Amino acid sequence: MSALLEVKGLRTAFETRAGSVCAVDGVDVEVHQGECLGIVGESGSGKSVTFASVMGLVRAPGRITAGEIHFDGRDLRKLSRKELRAVRGRDIAMTMQDALTALNPALTIGVQLAEVLEAHDETLPKGRKARARAIRERSVEMLGLVGIPSAGSRLSQYPHEFSGGMRQRIMIAIALACRPKLLIADEPTTALDVTIQAQVLELISDIRAKLGMSVVLITHDLGVVAEHCDRVMVMYAGQVVEEGPTAEVIGSPSHPYTRGLLGSIPRLSLRGQPIHPIEGQVPDLIDLPPQCRFYSRCAERTDACLTPIPVRQVGPHRKARCIIAGEDTE
Amino acid sequence: MGLGKFLERVLQLVPVLLGVSVIVFIMIALTPGDPVQIMIGDQAITPEQEAALRRDLGLDRPMYERFFLFVGNAVQGDFGQSFYHRRPVSEVIAERLPATIELSLVALLIALFTSIPLGVLAAIRKNSIFDRIATVISLLGVSLPGFWFGILLLMLFAVHLNILPVAGRIGYSSEIEPITHFLLIDTLLRGRPDAFLDALSHIILPAVTLGLPMTAILMRVTRSSMLEVLQQDYVTFAEAKGLSRRRVLFRHALKNALIPTVSVAAIETGSLLGGNMIVETVFGWPGLGRLVVESIFLRNYPLVQAAVLLYAVTYVLLNFFADILYTVLNPKVKL
Amino acid sequence: MTNVADMSRPPETIFQQNLGNFMRNRLAVASSAVVILFILLAIFAPLIAPHDPNATDLFRRLQPPAWVEGGEWSYLLGCDQLGRDILSRIIYGARISIFIGAAVILVATTIGIIAGLSAGYLRGWVDVVISRIVDILLGFPYLIFAIGLMAMMGPGLINIILALAYKEWVIPCRVVRGETLATRELEYIEAARALGASRRHIMVKEILPNILSPVIVVSTIRMAHVIILEASLSFLGLGVQPPTASWGSMVSDGRAFILESWWVSTFPGLAILLLVLAINVAGQGLRDAFDPRFHE
């Protein structure tokens, strides 16, 4: 069965004063029907830009310079702007990290919900009154779905009148209003308290089960991925460095970076023992040398790593961009 | 905003208005030349008449008493007699005020209707030819001396091309009985489209000259504000929803982007008051600005005093209004 | 192990970086050259001007520029209604505009810095008083205040400078006060206080050097505005008095002759435009160069 979303060789670059920065450098992604894919990486790894590119939201000075993006059988890069707008919000939806800035402070949430319905929903009646009523009904329904009580009276309120957790739910409600096939959740929990985080993630899982939706969870938090994602993809410096079923990748990571990430998580079971952060820093993305990008921070590097490293199959469903992966025994 | 805060702001106005009146009073009081002498001019009067005049004008009282007299009268609209016109100052000013207000309003409208679309377009098409033209206009707008630009326009349109008049507010043949004293409105109300066009042709050059600096400033403010708004997350989210470009622009971006524009416009309207004097002089516009300049040369100080006070008070009120406007419009402060 | 940092160049100071940014902006550099050109014209006016700016010659009354029929190349830009060479008067006029502009800005900035530092650092009643004065002065449209003062003091060079400076100082004052308020909470100020530095020492030696950048940028841009104001005052007849040539009064002189002799008003105004434009572009370049957002 072909994947719902297939990205091949995506390259997105930004022109800056200092030169061209390739934020996404040759990335392949596959998202299958009904699955939850986790994307893990630190800031600057290219994880957000990858999916902004998929949705066509990359603006100057950035642009997609290479690659294919196939969604539901269609090549998104070949679509006109109008056609792409029809896909956005209806078939693919996105939520952003901070709901406070993502929601327009000057518009009521009712208006912001209604907008997406007006833009995409063909099933709405044509007459003004009937249409307005239908939109209101659907809005209340969506807010109920995300767990906001007495939604009817709250449609006329402004974003700043809600708590952080509720705003996130509202954002999710807006994203899901047209029952998209794919939800891209960009750092859905980063701006929230720990307790709310769990609620929001539960919510996403529930809805995913109900609607049969595919989800891409972009995060830097491995714990989130471990709990909610079927597969995980690790990104570093604009490239995919590891990919596979969550349990396997977390259980026995292949790439030294992944291992470093897992090793640096403080754990109660290891209380009293030193934490091992990954030494060094992410390389400057301008003028990268043609070699493994993790080289300068890798404890297991060899001279053979000074050439461009391709992605290799290291297991039945697992890939890693490392020469020595799969050869080590833990 | 809450009534309490509003009143607080209003109260803050009082010391400023007071200070302004003090300064205006001192400025005139310290002007060289004896006002009585100026009033008398060449007439021969007896010393008793002179002393009586002095008493009438309150010139024999101490400074602070004169000040309170001044403020007291001013609040009632009494600014004394104009030396030159031999009529109450308030009357003379009231006559010329509509011309100035009309000119300023038209200039303001021109500025708004030019700068906002240009500013928005420059922001949307950043670094395009549009943007560069907008930048050039902005720079020219603040670098062109108003008096010179006005003369240049006159040379081009009135002299060379001969399609627009040289001076004045309206031609003789188009004179009408005033209703509102705003010619552009009155000519229409009186059913005289030919007079309307005539009035329009007279007002267009001075209004453009007056409005140019403001256009330049507003365009820059709109452009940078729009650029900032376009970077905001809620614009990206709106795009992610698949909304049409127009919707994103007008509903989400513009509303927020125009807030700084509107408040700067309110503040800059005050500077239109200053520019009035120059433009009215260049174009022979029969307004308050030109009256003030003439009065200075004629040493007609009561009028100058009244006009300066009027300008200053208007300016302070405009700034106050701009302040309130900004607070009201800013959604984040809407708590 | 080793980082990817490039250690081949010695680190630049922020100032050097900013200067580098400025130099890379060709337009700004070109404008600065124009400004310097005008300054040189002003300083060396007696050597450069082809004729005595006040020498009247009624035979040459309203003589057109050299390239128009009836003109002479030795009177390049033509003559005014008294037969005086316009080019020479423009060159000498540069002295007035630049001198007044610079003087006003210097005076205003000095007062503004003193007032702003005091208000921003000492706070308390000093701040209240100064802020009130600033508010009141801001309550006047610029030109009206200047005109009022000129009416009061009478025309004359010193009076113009004073009249314009009276209102101008509030602008650097506001900038300085804002910057001082922001800076005074920083740690190195606390450190200086802990070391027992006097208030004056802190204000002058610690805070002042760090807030100079924005003040310089603002002052440069304001100078352009002041030059236009002086020209406007002269145009209205309230500025420098004849026979001294000020660009503004030259434009005013030419008003009566716009029907036939367009050059009398045009060229002086063009001079104003060029100088002010150059200052604005250069000032803009300065602002962009010193803008911390441009540092990678």
pLDDT tens digits, B256-291: 888 888 888 887 888 787 788 899 999 888 888 888
For C135, the closest chain B residue by CA position comes to B16
> In a 3-state reduction of DSSP, which class is residue A266?
coil
Q: Is the pLDDT of residue B332 over 60?
A: no
Determine, yes or no, domain membership for A31: yes
Identity at A288, one-letter amino acid code: L
Neighbours of chain C (3+ CB pairs under 8 A): A, B
Q: Which two tokens stand for residue C131?
A: 């802020």
**Is pLDDT larger for residue A232 or for residue B184?**
A232
Distance (Å) from the alpha carbon of A93 to chain B's nearest alpha carbon: 7
In a domain, A167, yes or no: yes
Chain A nearest CA to B240, separation (Å): 6
pLDDT at C108 over 90: yes
Higher pLDDT, B296 or A102: A102
Q: Is A296 within the bounds of a domain? A: no
Phi, psi angles (nearest 5°) of residue A91: -100, -40
Identify the residue among B225, B237, B262 best suited for mutation to test binding to A, counting A beta carbons within 10 A and taking the highest: B237
Q: Give the per-residue pLDDT at C231.
A: 92
Last residue of a domain, one of A134, A149, A179: A179
A280 and C3: CB-CB below 8 Å?
yes
CATH, residue A81: 3.40.50.300
B250 and chain A in contact, CB less than 8 A = no
The H or E element that residue A95 is part of is strand A92-95
Q: For residues A64 and A110, state if they share a domain.
A: no
Which range (A192-196, B50-54, C161-165) has the least confidence?
Answer: B50-54
8 Å CB contact between B35 and B57: yes
The pLDDT > 90 percentage for chain C reads 17
A141 and A217, same domain (yes or no): no
* A57 and A111, same domain (yes or no): no
Tell me the C-alpha distance between A7 and A5, whole Å: 7
Q: How far apart are CA A303 and CA B254, in angstroms?
A: 56
Chain A: partners with 3+ C-beta pairs within 8 Å: B, C
* Alpha-carbon gap: A206 to the closest alpha carbon of chain C (Å): 44
Element (H, E) at B333: none
- C185-201 mean pLDDT: 76
Q: Would you say C41 and C48 are in contact if contact means Cβ atoms under 8 Å apart?
A: yes
Give, rounded to a whole angstrom, the gap between the first and last alpha carbons of chain C: 24
Q: What percent of chain B has pLDDT over 70?
A: 89
Top pLDDT among B76 and A77 is at: A77
Which pLDDT band holds residue B112 (cuts at 50, 70, 90)? very high
Q: Are residues A326 and A215 in the same domain?
A: yes
**Which one of A17, A18, A283 has the shortest CB-CB distance to C4?**
A283
User: Minimum mean pLDDT among A244-248, B218-222, C183-187, C242-246: which range?
Assistant: C183-187
- Whether residues C235 and B27 touch (CB distance < 8 A) is answered with no
pLDDT band at C11 (very low <50, low <70, confident <90, very high): low
pLDDT band at C6 (very low <50, low <70, confident <90, very high): very low
CB C87 within 8 A of CB C50: yes
Q: Is C56 helix (H, G, I), strand (E, B) or coil?
A: coil
Q: Does residue A186 belong to any structural domain of this protein? A: no
Burial A210-230 (b: 16+ CB within 10 A, else e): eeebbbbbbbbbbebbbebbb
Quote the pLDDT of residue C94.
92
Q: What is the pLDDT along chain A (330 residues), one digit of tens a residue?
A: 568 888 888 888 888 777 788 888 888 888 988 889 999 988 878 888 899 899 888 887 888 888 888 888 888 888 888 888 888 888 899 998 888 888 988 888 888 888 888 888 777 778 888 888 888 888 888 888 888 887 788 888 888 888 888 888 899 889 888 888 899 998 887 777 778 888 888 888 888 888 888 999 998 888 888 888 889 999 988 888 888 898 888 888 888 888 888 877 766 666 777 777 777 777 777 777 777 787 777 777 777 777 788 888 878 888 888 877 655 443
Ordered by where they begin, the domains of chain C are 34-294 (1.10.3720.10)
**Mean residue pLDDT across chain B:** 81
Report the C-alpha gap between C253 and C239 in whole angstroms: 13
For residue C232, what are the CA distances in angstroms to B146, B293, C238, C251, C283? 8, 12, 9, 10, 22
pLDDT digits (tens, 9 = 90+) for C202-236: 777 777 777 787 888 888 889 998 999 899 888 98
**A contact test, residue of B125, B231, B232, B241 with most A CBs within 10 A:** B241
Kindly provide the ipTM of the predicted complex, given to two decimals: 0.84
* Chain C: closest CA distance from residue B95 (Å): 20
Residue A122 lies in a domain: yes
What pLDDT is stored for residue A326 in this prediction? 56
pLDDT of B335 over the 50 cut: no
List chain B residues with CB under 8 Å of C236: 277-278, 281, 293
Query: A96: nearest CA in chain B?
Result: B237
Say whether A105 and B332 touch across the interface (CB within 8 A). yes
Q: CA-nearest residue of chain A to C1?
A: A296
Which residue in B24, B142, B143 has the most chain C C-beta atoms within 10 A of its own C-beta, making it the best mutation to test that interface?
A: B143
Q: Is residue A245 part of a domain?
A: yes
Residue C21: pLDDT over 90: no
Nearest CA in chain A to B248: A115
Q: Are residues A61 and A101 in the same domain?
A: no
On chain B, the residues whose CB falls within 8 A of the CB of A93 are 240-241
Contact list in B for residue A119 (CB cut-off 8 A) is 241-244, 247
- Span of A198-212, B87-101, B166-180 with lowest mean pLDDT: B166-180
Do A214 and A260 lie in one domain? The reply is yes
Non-local (6+) Cβ contacts of C117 within 8 A are C176, C177, C180, C203, C204, C207, C208
Give residues with Cβ within 8 angstroms of B152, minimum separation 6: C266, C269
Please tell me whether residues A97 and A73 are part of one structural domain: no
pLDDT band at C12 (very low <50, low <70, confident <90, very high): low
Indicate the residue of C141, C148, C269 with minimum beta-carbon distance to B148: C269
d(CA C251, CA C263): 9
Q: Both A65 and A81 in a single domain?
A: yes
- Domain boundary residue, one of A179, A211, A227: A179
Q: How far apart are CA C266 and CA B303, in angstroms?
A: 33
Distance CA C31, CA C277 (A): 8
Dihedral over alpha carbons B116, B119, B120, B126 (to 10 degrees): 170
* pLDDT top residue among A96 and C142: A96
For residues B210 and A238, give the distance between their C-alpha atoms in angstroms, rounded to a whole number: 54
Q: Give yes or no for A17 touching C (CB within 8 A).
A: yes
For residue A92, the surrounding DSSP H or E stretch is strand A92-95
pTM higher than 0.95: no
Task: For residues A218 and A325, state if they share a domain.
Answer: yes
Cβ–Cβ gap A281/C3 under 8 Å: yes
Cα-based angle B200, B202, B204 (whole degrees, multiple of 5): 65
Q: Taking each helix axis from N to C terminus, what angle separates B255-283 and C208-236, rounded to the nearest 10 degrees?
A: 40
How many domains is chain A partitioned into structurally?
2
Q: Does the pLDDT value for residue C276 go beyond 90?
A: yes
| In a domain? residue A301 | no
Characterize B245-255 residue by residue with b for buried, 16 or more Cβ atoms within 10 angstroms of its Cβ, and e for exposed.
eebbbebbbbe
Residue B315 has its nearest CB partner, among C141, C231, C284, at: C141
**Gap between the Cα atoms of B60 and B100, Å rounded:** 36
Q: 């754990």: which residue's tokens?
A: A267
Query: Which pLDDT belongs to residue C3?
Result: 42
Main-chain dihedrals φ then ψ at residue B256, nearest 5 degrees: -75, -35
Give residues 262 to 291 of A whose Cβ lies within 8 Å of C: 280-281, 283-284
Alpha carbon of C210: minimum distance to chain B alpha carbons (Å): 27
Q: Across A179-188, B22-31, B164-173, which has the greatest mean pLDDT?
A: A179-188
> Are B324 and B316 in contact, with CB atoms under 8 Å apart?
no
Q: Which residues contact A296 (CB under 8 A, 6 or more apart)?
A: A280, A283, C1, C2, C3, C4
Mean pLDDT lowest among A296-310, C48-62, C158-172? A296-310
Most B-contacting residue of A83, A85, A104, A162 (CB-CB within 10 A), to test interface: A104
Is residue A55 domain-shared with residue A98, that is, in the same domain? no
* A52 and A7 in a common domain: yes
Q: Is residue A185 part of a domain?
A: no
By the CB < 8 Å criterion, does A79 face chain B? no
Tell me, what's the pLDDT at B58?
Answer: 65
Predicted local confidence at residue C139, as pLDDT: 74
Instruction: Choose one of A179, A213, A246: the last residue of a domain.
Output: A179
- Closest Cβ opposite residue B240 in set A94, A103, A106: A94
Residue C46 burial (CB count, 10 A): 12
pLDDT of A34: 86
- Supply the pLDDT for residue B41: 66
Mean pLDDT, rounded, for C161-190:
83
For residues C153 and A123, give the distance between their C-alpha atoms in angstroms, rounded to a whole number: 78
> For residue C291, which phi and psi values (nearest 5 degrees)?
-70, 120
- Do residues A175 and A205 share a domain? no
Contacts of A170 (CB under 8 A, 6+ apart): A99, A103, A109, A112, A113, A143, A146, A148, A159, A162
What is the Cα–Cα distance from A310 to A293, expressed in whole angstroms?
12
Residue A174: domain span: 92-179
pLDDT band at residue C132 using 50, 70 and 90 as cut-offs: confident
